[in-house]
Structure 1
Amino acid sequence: MTEQPPGRKEKAAPVIRDLASKIACGTYGPGRKIPSLRKLSERYGVSVSTARRSVKALADKGMLTFLHGSGTFVAEKRSPADRRFRIAAVAATFGVNAMNTCTGIAVNGILDAADELGIELTTIPMRFEEMSDARLEALSGGFDGVILLGGYDGILSSPRPVCAAVGLSMHDSCGGLFSLIELDPFRATELAVGFFRERGVREVAVAGHARPAHRLREQLFRDAWQSVGTLLFPPDDTPGEYRPERGIYFTCGAAALAAAEAYHAETGRELGRDYPVLCFDGHPLFVDRPHRNLPTLAINLRLAGVAAAEECLRRITCPGSASRRIYIAPELYPGE
């Protein structure tokens, strides 16, 4: 049977999804003019008519508005009448290219769920050092639910949000206040042990991080590896000396990228090709070389965003319901 070409909706869907994510993340803020149809068609590799359908679909949702003779702009107010619940997504950064960052892809999943669940999403950039119990409590008063994207649990102590709260990539539930969506650290440990054993590694250095999720990853790997080989803990959570026979397990993706960048600057070579190293949480998937050759454990972030939105809505519509910890199984990406 001859394969049918993709329909009009399928061609427009990636454009709609990326533009919606850029609007949600603030890349295109309220009142800002978006690129012309011709520029959109060139950027996304689609026809002008497909770009036009994509823009119209977002205008129909109230996200864009047309001004005759001036162009297409992000709507100043986006509160369709059929959206009942207001949810805030908080992250340290949403990135200029929303669909090429961990946070942007997770927000895209929240947006997918929002259309079906009747949710109005607001994104709020907040650096980790800006977060506090008081800031979260004040923020939560303006929404029905709040989703924290990233390791804010390393900063919060005893927050009292006044709305439903969900943490994505957090581990500490703050006494059961947060439902949590996490990369399954138990499955990740199994994959990490298998990764190093397949490469004949007997000695592994763990480069960790102070946040709760990273400490758990470190502890689980320590418990699993002690019956397999030797475990090293370099000072100050640095990777230590690189050796062909020594594996390095980065429990923090940002630390892994920094190490790969420093190695490349010093040698002109790629760390992931030269040594048996493994990175937790998928950061190398969203950056250019020399990081793309860094093996990593990662989850489907879009599905994680969907799960976060669904869990937040459950907490909103069932007041007093217990928080939950939802694990998503990771996959091992060996690098290019």
Structure 2
Amino acid sequence: MQPSKATTDEPLASPHVRPSAPSEPSSRRSLTADFGKPRKAGRKKVSRAYIFLTPWMLGMVFITLGPLLASLYLSFTDYDLLSEPNWVGLENYQRMFTDDPRFLKSLVVTFTYVLVSVPLQLMLALGLALVLNKGVRGLALYRSAYYLPSLIGGSVAVAILWRQIFGAEGLVNQLLGSIGLEGMPGWISNPQTALGTLIILNVWTFGSPMIIFLAGLRQIPAELYEQGSIDGVKMFGRLRYITLPLLSPIIFFNLVLQLIGAFQAFTPAYVVSNGTGGPVDSTLFYTLYLYERGFVNFEMGYASALGAVLLVIIGVLTALNFYASKHWVHYND
């Protein structure tokens, strides 16, 4: 018998086949490649983000930050737009606080306008938002109709219309005459009521905060109101303990926006008073006085100082609002 061929589990090595190289270097190369790919992808995303942000950054530098710094510099100069600025240091600020009664008058008028019109506007906007949130038919139509004043409220046309409505022969006096109150003076020409007409105009433009309030009300879970009803909480109790706390971030947001916007109001006072702030400076808004100093009297250095003070006032009040919000604004964690 011939002996059988021995079998082995190991394959016979061919003399022409080279042994494979150790796998460690290739694994290292693959790991390096794997780690490199996310880094390259991340860099591409960052570069694309900067490309899309470029228009905003250019606008921030050349439209906002650049003019702001230039205005701050001019506030320390005597500049009339026709000659080179002449450095005068703090003279404009010293004159503003010690020798300019119209500056103080404009502050009083502006603060009165802001502190009265903004709370009234927000209360009206919130009240209508609560009504519309009940599921009124034709809600889209109502929202559009109520939002329209916010779109046109700051226009020259509406300010002219407002002057006609509250004039001596305007619609308001005609309505008062129909009920026996004849011979009423013009509301615009009366120093006691002129500012009140502008406050009414600002309150009338309640559409924008109303839409924001309505959106916030839609985010409050209905289960909370159902639970409140089961617990015997009445309508005003639900408003106090459910609606207002959960809506407080929206109230704070609207408050800050409307506060800043009210301090910057200009067109209504300019049109109603023909650019003078009359009668007897009763509608002399701060922005109107700034415009008068800069573009009527060509005291651009002084006007720049007025602008710097307005920026500080708005910044301080906004910071105070953020600080006070810790005590009354509630966020859902």
TM-score using structure 2 length:
0.21
More helix by share: 2
More strand by share: 1
* Rg larger in structure: 2
TM-score using structure 1 length:
0.21
If asked which structure has higher relative contact order (CA below 8 Å, sep 6+), I would say 2
